[in-house]
Structures are given as C-alpha cells and as structure tokens.
Amino acid sequence: HFEEAYYEIDEFMEFYNYRRYHGSLGRMAPVKFNEKYKDIGFPEEMALSL
C-alpha cells in the first residue's frame, strides 16, 4: 500500500503546485508564480500579505 499512497501524494503535489490557482498568489499556480517573479522579486503588496 506504500506505492499507492506515494502515487496519490505525488498526484496531489503535482496538482497543488502546477494546476491549482492560489488567491494569495494572484490566481496563479505556485510554479507559474515562481517563474514570473524569481528574477525580479515579489510585488511589495504580495510580500506583505504572505
């Protein structure tokens, strides 16, 4: 059952980080948000709310 649990957790992490839009990230998935802001930094108004 370890393999099944591992698979389910992996699927959830993929969904959460790549496909689920987060309101606190400007309705972006975490991976997309990171790609957009990794070189320029977080917008100040977002940094204050995180």
CB 36, CB 26: distance < 8 Å: no
Q: What is the predicted pLDDT for the residue at 47?
A: 63
For 33, the domain range is: 2-49
Residues with Cβ < 8 Å from 22, sequence gap 6 or more?
28, 29, 30, 33
Tens digit of each residue's pLDDT (9 = 90 or more) over 1-50: 999 999 999 999 999 999 999 998 889 999 999 899 888 887 776 665 55
The reported pLDDT for the residue numbered 31 is 94
Q: What is the pLDDT of residue 39?
A: 84
pLDDT of residue 8: 98
Contact 21, 47 (CB under 8 A): no
Alpha-carbon gap, residue 30 to 34, rounded angstroms: 6
46 Cβ contact partners less than 8 Å away, ≥ 6 residues apart: 24, 25, 26
